[in-house]
Structure 1
C-alpha cells in the first residue's frame, strides 16, 4: 500500500470524526436493574441510590427487580443511607398513589362506557321491530349493489299451431299429399 510506514505511531492515520459513538437506551426495568445490582455489589451506593431517586420509572420496574427488598436487607441495616432510603420510600408511595388514581380513573371510564352501551341496548329494545327492520333495510340498501331485474323470455315470436284432426267422414282418397297437416311437407 502506498504511504505505509514501518514505524509505529501513536496517532491513527484514520480520523475518527466520521465515527460516532452509538448510545444504547435502557428500558425502565434495565435501568432499575443496573442500579439495584450496584447496591447489591456495594459499588458506589450513594450514586446508585441517587439514580434510583431520580428515575422516572413505573413501580413495576422496581417491583420486578426487588429493589425494596434489596434496600431493606442490604442498605437499611447499615444505617448510613437513611436520607436516601426515606426519599425512596416517599417516591414509592407517590408512584403507588398515582397508579391507584390512574387505575380508578380507568375503571370509572370503563364503567361509563359500559353504562352507555347498556343504555343504547335499552333504547334499541324499546323501538318496535318494524323500526329496526326499516333501519336494517336502509342500511343494507346503502351497502349492497343494486339487484338485477330478471327478464322473462318473450315467447311471442314463436307461433304455436295446433294440429287439426283429420275428419273421419272424408274419404281416404281425398287426402292429398300436400296437406298442411303433414310433418314432411314443411
Structure 2
C-alpha cells in the first residue's frame, strides 16, 4: 500500500508539459498588421498572411503605417497568384476609408450644428434691448437664490425743514454751561 500512495503523490506533483499553452502577448493593431505584412515581404505563408489581413479589424492607419498597400503592389501583385485576396483587401481598404469619411463628415456636421446654435443664440441676445437683458439677468439671479442688493433712497418729503430763529438760538446758547460768559449776552 505504501508504494501505491507514493507513486500517486509523485504523479500529482509532476506538471504535465503538453497541457500548458504558450502565453501570447496582445498585439496592437499596428503590430498585428506589421507581423503579417512582414510575412508577405519574406514570402512566408503568404496565403495565411493575406487571410489574416483580410479578417483583421483594424483602422486604416495601421495598414498605412506598415505600408501594406505598397507591399501588396510590389511583392504580391506581380506574381498574379493572389488576385482573389488582393481584390478582397482592396475592397476592405475602400470600406474602411468610406467609414472613416462618414465618421469625419458626421463629426463635422455635429460641430457645425453646435457652432450654428451658438451663433444663433448670440444673435438673439444681441437683438434684445438692454432692459430685456437686465430682466434676464435679474431672473437668473433670482433663480440662483443670491440675495438681491437694492439701494433705497430715503424719502425726505416727510420731514419739515424749519429755519432756526434767533430766539431759539439764544436759548440754546444760554442753557449750555460752557457758554455762560458775560460777553456772549
Q: TM-score range by the shorter chain?
A: 0.5 to 0.7
Q: Cα deviation per residue 1:110-164 (whole Å; 9 max; x = unaligned)?
A: 2222221211111111111111122223323444654799xxxxxxxxxxx9543
**Alignment RMSD (CA, Å):** 3.1
In structure 2, the CA distance between the partners of 1:119 and 1:62, relative to structure 1 (3 Å rule), is same
Alignment of 1:34-49 (within 5 A): 34-49=35-50
* Residue ranges of structure 2 left out of the alignment (5+ in a row): 1-9, 151-174
Alignment of 1:36-75 (within 5 A): 36-75=37-76
**TM-score where L is the length of structure 1:** 0.66
Greater fraction of residues in helix: 2
Q: After alignment, is 121-130 or 138-147 more displaced? A: 138-147
**TM-score where L is the length of structure 2:** 0.66
2:182 partner SS: coil
Alignment-derived partner of residue 165 in structure 1: 179
In structure 2, the CA distance between the partners of 1:20 and 1:145, relative to structure 1 (3 Å rule), is farther
Distance 2:128 2:14 in 1: 81
Distance 1:12 1:73 in 2: 56
Q: Cα deviation per residue 1:14-37 (whole Å; 9 max; x = unaligned)?
A: 557xx9975533222221111111
- In the TM superposition, residue 105 of structure 1 has moved relative to its aligned partner by 2.2
Alignment-derived partner of residue 94 in structure 1: 95
- In the TM superposition, residue 56 of structure 1 has moved relative to its aligned partner by 1.2
Distance 1:99 1:32 in 2: 18
Distance 1:162 1:22 in 2: 109
Distance 2:81 2:22 in 1: 38
Distance 1:79 1:29 in 2: 27
* Residue ranges of structure 1 left out of the alignment (5+ in a row): 1-9, 150-160, 170-186
- In the TM superposition, residue 82 of structure 1 has moved relative to its aligned partner by 1.4
